[in-house]
Amino acid sequence: MFNYQEFIKRNEGYVDVELQQKIRETKLLIAGCGIGSSIAEAAIRLGFEKITLVDGDVIELHNLNRQDYNYSDVGKPKVFALRDRLLSINPQAEITIYNDWVDKENAYDMVQEVDMVLDTIDFLSLEGIIALHDACKVQSKPVFSAVSAGWGAGALYFPPNSKTSFRHLFGIPEQGEVSHLSYVSTFKAFIAQLAQHLDADIIRALSKAFTIMEDGKPCPASQVAPGAFSVGALAMSMVLRVLAGKPVAEAPDLVLLNMSDVCTNQVVKLKGELLQ
């Protein structure tokens, strides 16, 4: 029989009793179950037991280089496969699924049922992202937007009553429809702000994708497993700091995790000595 206390035993020393109880009781919404699958697995292994998954996509073979699925899942709706994976880790977890895209018709009700929101919606769905963030703003719900960035990840935290908004950061009017806006132009403008902080290979990959999408063709952006796994690690670390009442950088500040820099710049030189 599943034993929660035994399951989270190895969290001790990093997660105290009070924080663990908050983790267990907090209701998470993960919107976008591609890169969001890495967040979902990190959450379930930390002890979150109330998770809502939202995505209308199905698993394709090219997803498997970085998303939390198996070859046997190809062709299945992402929310069903991810739910089954999470329940295989913690069978007593409460996993709610919406096999649908987020839009202005359903976003409010989805957000209303949870405590915290994690947004990893594909930027091709600009209307869905805006609907989700608008619902969080109206309901004063915290939302984390996380993306894969080459070998690393980036995340924005919008607390309840945030001083800024997703619309503002992306140059979108605070009110009104966004269906007429080009997601390519909107995203390119945002990336231009970050260009000096991103590796050249990220800029090249995005530039190629933008060129294809401007011709009206779908173009899955290049992504690699270390970057996808970094999304889960970064997003869940930020969520836990918020639950613990610790400071977290808030939008418009972007938390950027560059694993390439970590591998070269954050090095501690050790001196081996023989024990006497």
| pLDDT tens digits, 14-39 | 999 999 999 999 999 999 999 999 99
Own/partner pairs, 58-63, CB within 8 angstroms, 24+ separation: 62/220, 63/34
Q: Which residues 6+ apart lie within 8 Å of 233 measured at CB? A: 38, 42, 153, 257
Measured CA to CA, the distance from residue 9 to residue 130 in angstroms comes to: 39
Full-model pTM:
0.90
Does position 216 have pLDDT exceeding 90, yes or no?
Answer: no
- List pLDDT tens digits, range 137-159: 999 999 999 988 888 899 999 99
Per-residue H/E/C for 11-66: HCCCCCHHHHHHHHHCEEEEECCCCHHHHHHHHHHHCCCEEEEECCCECCHHHHHC
- C-alpha closest to that of 118 among 144, 156, 148, 157: 144
- Point out which residues pair with 146 in neighbouring strands: 155
pLDDT at 229: 96
pLDDT at 250: 96
Higher-pLDDT residue of 173, 54: 54
Measured CA to CA, the distance from residue 198 to residue 57 in angstroms comes to: 29
CATH level 3 topology of 4-175+221-265: Rossmann fold (3.40.50)
